Amino acid sequence: MKKAALIGLGLLLAGALFLIVGGRRLVSSGQARKTFDGQQAYQDVLYQMSLGPRIPGSVAHQKIIQWLTAQLSQEGWQVEVQNGTMMGHPIQNVIARKGSGKPWIILGAHYDSRMWANMDPDPAKRQQPVPGADDGASGVAVLTGLARAIPAQPDKQTWLVFFDAEDDGEIPGWDWLLGSEYFVNHLACCPTAAVIVDMVGDANLDIYQERNSNPQIVQQIWDQAAQLGFSANFIPQYKYSMEDDHTPFLQAGIAAVDLIDFDYPYWHTTQDTADKISANSLYMVGQTLLEWLNPWPSQVN
């Protein structure tokens, strides 16, 4: 999935914004807009887990594609399944679009789960599949939650991209990031920026700044998290250098950021299960991104 090298109050809103406690709306200048629903996002995690491991070629893998297509279409997104081949393996990326023009922001997550739990403390379980609650399902749940909350804005463009075949590197015949590499290789034009969410549901959420990520976007997102009162979870320090789904974007010269809690102790084990996930963690990540998108970032160096 990803490789890493270890390198190293309340809600604050500006102007007329205020939060309706217990509700699902932010109100600004008399207009209501949705907030991110962490509880519903957690239900999305549970649904994915109910399918079983979403390893490429499995029934669960096909069911998650069908579910994503139906959910996103229901929320008014234009949805397509991008079909291709990498290393002889079928690739099926799910792409949802809303709006047009620029700024053009891509939000991405991988929906597959790993074939082998090679980091499991029990050697007898290391060729069992990873359940993938945090490593896969949490990122998907943040994106499906955003799909319900992001409004249509004709002069701006959002894509939600669910990448296939991210997580089977170091398994014979496979490599990491196959879906995102295929996607970037077939982009006809350049987005303003891409933000990847991966392993963001840990109940003990600690998201450090990732060293390969675009520093301007990192600063914007961490500033937004601080304004929302999430500084204890979005830690303004660099810690890891990741190879993740943002890597193909960076290699193509596209500004990209990886939001990831790589201190998750159940990574690539059979213990990556839904009881380790928190609706509040999903909310903090989803609400931060929703607010970062409003007003939309337009210039990235």
Peptide bond into 295 cis (omega under 30): yes
CA distance 193 to 190: 8
Query: Strand 31-34 relative to strand 193-198: parallel, antiparallel, unpaired?
Result: unpaired
Q: Is the pLDDT assigned to residue 136 strictly greater than 60? A: yes
Q: Is the pLDDT assigned to residue 73 strictly greater than 70? A: yes
Cβ atoms < 10 Å from Cβ of 241: 16
* The dihedral formed by the CA atoms of 49, 110, 136 and 118, expressed in degrees to the nearest 10: 110
As a whole number, mean pLDDT of residues 71-84 equals 97
What local confidence, expressed as pLDDT, does residue 151 receive? 84
Mean pLDDT of the chain: 89
35-292, superfamily in CATH?
A: Zn peptidases (3.40.630.10)
DSSP string over 122-157: SGGGTTSPP--IIIIIIHHHHHHHHHHHPPP-TTSE
DSSP string over 46-77: HHHHHH----TTSHHHHHHHHHHHHHHHHTT-
CA distance 76 to 43: 20
Query: Any idea where the domains of the chain sit in the sequence?
Result: 35-292
pLDDT 10s digits, 137-159: 999 999 999 999 998 776 789 99
pLDDT 10s digits, 208-252: 999 999 999 999 999 999 999 999 999 999 999 999 999 999 999
> Which is nearest to 149 in space by CA: 286, 22, 269, 261?
286
**Residues 1 and 268: beta-carbon distance below 8 Å:** yes
CA distance 144 to 232: 25
Using left for φ > 0, alpha for ψ between -120 and 50, and beta otherwise, residue 76 falls in left
Most confident residue range from 12-21, 48-57, 146-155: 48-57
